[in-house]
Structure 1
Amino acid sequence: MTDLTPTHARNMRLLGHTDQGGRPDGVQLMVHRGYGYVGHIFSKGFSVIDLRDPVNPRPVRFIPAPPNTWCLHLQTHDDLLLVIHNKDMFAQADMADEKSYYKGGVSHHADGARDWSAGMAVYDISRPEAPRQIGFMPVEGTGLHRIWYTGGRWAYASALLDGFTDYILITIDMADPTRPQMVGRFWLPGMNAAAGEVPDWPLPQGRFGLHHPIVHGDIAYCSWRDACLAIVDVSDRHAPKLKNHIVWSPPFGGGTHNALPLPGRDLLVVVDETVLDHGEDGFKPIWIFDNQVKSKPISISTMPPPSDRDYHAVGGHFGPHNIHENRPGTFVSEDLIFATWQNAGVRVYDIRDPFRPEEVGACVPPPPTRMVDPRPNRAAVLHSADVHVDAQGLIYATDFNAGLSVMEYLG
């Protein structure tokens, strides 16, 4: 029986857990109509979990990925599930050391055989327990990393296409979900190597590539890893244009992962992802920006890091990874921010005073009982990855090895 005793908890409790049918690795998850959709990072596919009884989550289906393919990120809306197809980066021998993936180039050049699937798969989930693929958008390159889709005609994603140095922004026309079409592209100057552009940033010290956009209205807030924050005008989905590019790495660590607008308060919450052990990649906070001037957000504070123990001494990654992104149909708040801190579990922040954010809840699930991460020398510790809060306020968190945890905030 799974131990549901957290390593640490304050103002939160652990309700349920599942090893996802023996595939306890997970990255992005969506909870939709009582079912969870979990993209795996090592198990080569995605899983469907029945969450209608959150105390007893029940895996009901696993959809395998094509050979050598990642499906670690996905999106749901109405009867659609969008799933990325990307080359399985961590399966490559030269990417077994995380430093190679996060601090080096990942570009693919079309000079060899492609033995993976690259693009975006579309599933019908009108029967939520039984996704049925109805469409696919292929791309020439390594594939997609993460999608933003909240319904309607347009989806947005990061994609590594042939000829580019790293992931760029693409816009996707979803007018016909059985035939999604890439219609627009945007990249930072220097990324289009095929066109002769020359980077003006240090390589291979940093990853100047898009993690993913979050779009509000006609603005895409693009988390560009070590290139930090790019604010892009997408009013013309066929020709996105840069409004501003803000860089704080160096002196800070970079690795920007999420940029979440809080439009009712003119704020922007920005996460810099910790990607190396023992804080080797520098200071990686969760920032709060004043966003009254959309083309010129200004940093006003950072979230306090967990302080209930010395998490650097625990091993593995200590630092932010992801926040709940206030998707339509989920729990939407501009006062509470839910974040994963990898070996420090899930934290809840009250930002009613944006200049003095306060941690008001914490839950650190038990460490993994077994490791499925095939990479050498990985610490057998918690690695809370993505967090999703449903409309009822239940909190779901994935982990690289420790399965899916269901939590409740008691504040």
Structure 2
Amino acid sequence: MSTPAVEIANAFTPLGRSDQGGRPDAMQLQYQEGYVYVGHLFSGGFSVVDARNPRDMTTVGFHAAPPDTWNIHLQAADDLLLVIHAKDLWKEFSAEQNYYQGSVGTRLAGTRRTWSAGVAMFDISNPAEPRQISFLDVDGVGVHRLWYTGGRWAYASVLAEGFTDYVFRVIDLKDPAKPRWAGEWWLPGMNSARGESPTWDTGRWRYALHHAIIDGDTAYASWRDGGLTLLDIRDREAPELISHRNWSPPFGGGTHPAVPLPARELLLVADEATADNLQDGLKHVWVFTIADPTNPISIATLPTPAEQDYARKGGHFGPHNLHENRPGSFVSDTLIFATYQNAGVRSFDISDPYRPKPVGALLPGPPAKLMDPRPGRPCVIQTADVHVRPDGVLFCTDYNAGLLSAQYDG
């Protein structure tokens, strides 16, 4: 495999690229035992890539989703692979901003179900050949994203009947062959089945859990335009609110991942850029102090990439995801990796959390072709997810350009 073409490689050495068996529409990735599991944004399913040699990655399997169903997000740990099932919402909202504005559950209420909704559990003790062992159903649109790092408990954003949009739920995996839903929590106003009414402008803002990252007994949950909550989950059957912060408005919303750095009492929170050409405003990765969990305070933002006029490059410019410091990966509370969509992958030094510094950039070249079927999409890089191994080998995905590997040299 030839070395992939890149526009910028500052502190990174490109290693290889995979088109994932001819399906290069890559969303979330999970690295486990030398294999990468990739959820597809448009192809309907997930792929398994043998990445034991990052310079020569080989696709060893594709697992198709049921009709009209997304498998865009997944989690791997303890020989288990959890794969989300939800309605393919790009088919419903081909105009992208219609997906990001307003309550999805409200707009789809009463729709005849033609899709699979829930979480599929796979045995990956043979990592190249996932074998489904159970399925946890949802009576609604489905599941968006998960958090699972092993053990009994997993965590999901779930859009069930009776809710305006995705909310927080806990999954009990005491017996992975018989999973069950445990506790749940939502922002007041989201449970329409109980007669609650939103207090926000539902035509403009979308209050929906993207996902929560768990550290100990705290869930750091990101609610798109609904901001950030810290939840006490000591009782997995009954989560409780610790604190809620929302900076949208005046900022543009889209709160996406919240990555805790517990040893330093810090939290990184990225707001996703969700519109072309900064139509939803410039988004940031915020640095919070959580020394007092009841009062999270933003103290800085990561520097915005500026080598090119990314705002006019086309597509989305701004944060999407962060390397999430998963157990077994590269774990640091000073070196941060973030994806910036048409600006690629960036690394930052936050040794001084009040003055973060950029220390690396990996900007892939444009995709060979567009997998995105939506009309009028530009042929530019849209780097989506990033995972870094303990040895500094990085994997990142793109909606159209597949899976890229690189060595971090910083």
Which TM-score applies when normalising by structure 2?
0.98
The gaps in structure 2 that reach 5 residues or longer are none
The structure 1 segments of at least 4 consecutive aligned residues displaced by more than 2 Å after TM superposition are: 108-113
Aligned equivalent of 1:11:
11
Which secondary structure state, in structure 2, belongs to the residue aligned with residue 279 of structure 1?
coil
Encode CA deviations 1:64-102: one digit per residue, 9 max, x unaligned.
Answer: 00111000000000210000001000012xx11111000
Report what 1:105 is aligned to: 103
Confirm or deny: 8 A CA contact 2:163 2:193 kept in the other structure: yes
1:331-361 per-position Cα deviation (integer Å, ceiling 9, x unaligned): 1111111000000000001111101101100
Where does residue 23 of structure 1 map in the other structure? 23
- Aligned residue number for residue 37 of structure 2: 37
Match of 1:116 in 2: 115
Quote the residue 1:346 is aligned against.
345
2:360 is aligned to 361
Kindly, what percent of the aligned residue pairs are identical? 55
Separation (CA, whole Å) in 2 of partners of 1:149 and 1:256: 20
More off after superposition, 365-374 vs 110-119: 110-119
SS at match of 2:193: helix
Question: Is it true that 1:73 corresponds to 2:73 in the alignment?
Answer: yes
Q: Summarize the alignment of residues 137-216 of structure 1 with structure 2, pairs less than 5 Å apart.
A: 137-216=136-215
Residue 397 of structure 1: aligned partner? 396
- Aligned alpha-carbon RMSD (Å): 1.1
Q: Partners in 2 of 1:366 and 1:57 — Cα distance?
A: 19
Point out the more displaced range, 280-289 or 102-111: 102-111
Match in the other structure for 2:293? 294
Find the counterpart in structure 2 of residue 90 from structure 1: 90
Give yes or no for contact 2:329–2:390 (8 Å, CA) kept in 1: yes
User: Secondary structure of 2:264's match?
Assistant: coil
Cα deviations across residues 271-293 of structure 1 (Å, max 9, x unaligned)? Answer: 00000001111131000001111
Q: Normalising by structure 1, what TM-score?
A: 0.98
Corresponding letter in the other structure for 2:95 = D
Contact 1:119/1:137, CA 8 A, preserved across alignment: yes
1:336 and 2:335 aligned: yes
What runs of 5+ residues in structure 1 fail to find an aligned partner?
none
107-116 vs 28-37, which moves further? 107-116
Q: Name the amino acid aligned to 2:99.
A: Y
Matched residue of 1:99: which SS?
Answer: helix
Distance in 1 separating the partners of 2:88 and 2:365: 28
Maintained 8 Å contact 2:3/2:16: no
Match of 2:259 in 1: 260
The CA distance in 2 between the partners of 1:166 and 1:3, in whole Å, is 42
Q: Deviations over 1:296-331 (max 9, x none)?
A: 111000000111111112111000000000000111
> What is the rounded CA distance, in whole Å, between the counterparts of 2:247 and 2:293 in structure 1?
18
Residue 248 of structure 2 is matched in structure 1 by 249
Task: Give the number of equivalent residue pairs.
Answer: 409
Query: Does the Cα contact within 8 Å between 2:3 and 2:14 map onto a contact in 1?
Result: no
TM superposition shift of 1:52? 0.7
3-state SS of 2:209 partner: coil
Residue type at the aligned position of 1:372: M
| Preserved CA contact (<8 Å) 1:3 1:366 | no
Deviations 1:126-181 (A, max 9, x none): 00000000011001110000001111111111000101000000011000101110
User: Residues 227 and 254 of structure 1 are in contact (CA less than 8 Å); yes or no, is this contact kept in structure 2?
Assistant: yes
What is the correspondence of 1:263-282 to structure 2 with a 5 Å cutoff?
Answer: 263-282=262-281
Residue identity in the other structure for 1:261: P
| Partner amino acid, structure 2, of 1:27 | M
Rounded Cα–Cα distance in structure 2 between residues aligned with 1:343 and 1:266: 31
